[in-house]
Amino acid sequence: MEIISENRAFGGTQGVYSHRSHSTHCEMTFGLFLPEEAQHTPVPVLWYLSGLTCTHENAMVKAGAQQWAAEQGIALVFPDTSPRGDDVADDDAYDLGKGAGFYVNATQKPWAPHFRMWDYIAEDLPSMLQEEFALDMSRQSIMGHSMGGHGALTLAMGLPGRYKSVSAFAPITNPTASDWGRKQLSAYLGDDEATWAAHDATVMMRDKGFDGPLLVDTGTNDQFIDLLKPEALAAAVAERRQEGILRLQKGYDHSYFFVSTFMEEHIAFHAEALYAD
């Protein structure tokens, strides 16, 4: 692991690091905020998965999350959204290829050699973090924005018992029925739509749900709301009678102005779950 930068922030440390990933077979960069408590004892972990076109840096710089994580004594992990490098496949469109990993393990050419973001978030990066930092990996929660909200929801339901809580800002909730999903899932996973179900939060909610608290916020003025389909997830939550809070926030859009407005509430929500035991 290589230290790219470390800066003092809210009594803790905001670091940026790189490492060779066994999953994506390339160098990956991530951000990690450690609160002051991490100097003395392992601290709970809150994952933040970013959206299309983003890197580790977007939420790290724009979300205003470190202040609230410092108050709660929680570490924040900001992974990248895709593999990177000259030998990594890409596409001219912004919503496929680099910056658009969709948190799946690709099985199709040319994506399969590197686009294994599910394994990277689920296995590779957590293992490295546990070895290198003072983190309590028995207490993890996860959240994300847009494509990252999709990733947070599907990972939370796909890895039962891993995360104490899950939340999302404007998540892509029903990608098998959306242009933000069908294109990418077919490219990465192939044309057999049965393989897509494990990466659709609405389908997964109907099939298995999440054993823990759920919080989802979407802005009523979100310019992509027809692609996000918040009503599909809401219907599945109601059908399953899943514990959860799903809110439409009047006048807010898809931007980090929206995310930062509700970040304090989301971190407090996760802190309650992380410290419940």
Sole residue written with tokens 């709301």: 225
Q: Are 13 and 107 in contact (CB under 8 A)?
A: no
d(CA 250, CA 247): 9
d(CA 108, CA 96): 13
3-25 burial string, b = 16+ CB within 10 Å, else e?
eeeeeebeebbbbbbbbebebbe
Active site residue 146: yes
Which of these is catalytic: 145, 254, 266, 270?
254
Active site residue 260: no
Active site residue 254: yes
Element housing 164 (H / E): strand 163-169
d(CA 87, CA 76): 30
The number of angstroms, rounded, from the C-alpha of 136 to the middle of its chain's C-alpha atoms is 19
d(CA 101, CA 255): 20
d(CA 91, CA 93): 5
Cis peptide preceding 110, ω within 30 of 0: yes
Q: Are 209 and 157 in contact (CB under 8 A)?
A: yes
Q: Which pair of structure tokens corresponds to residue 95?
A: 């919503």
The phi-psi region of residue 170 (left if phi > 0; otherwise alpha if psi is between -120 and 50; otherwise beta) is left
Which of these is catalytic: 199, 222, 266, 270?
222
Which of these is catalytic: 146, 165, 167, 178?
146
> Hey, which residues are catalytic here?
146, 222, 254
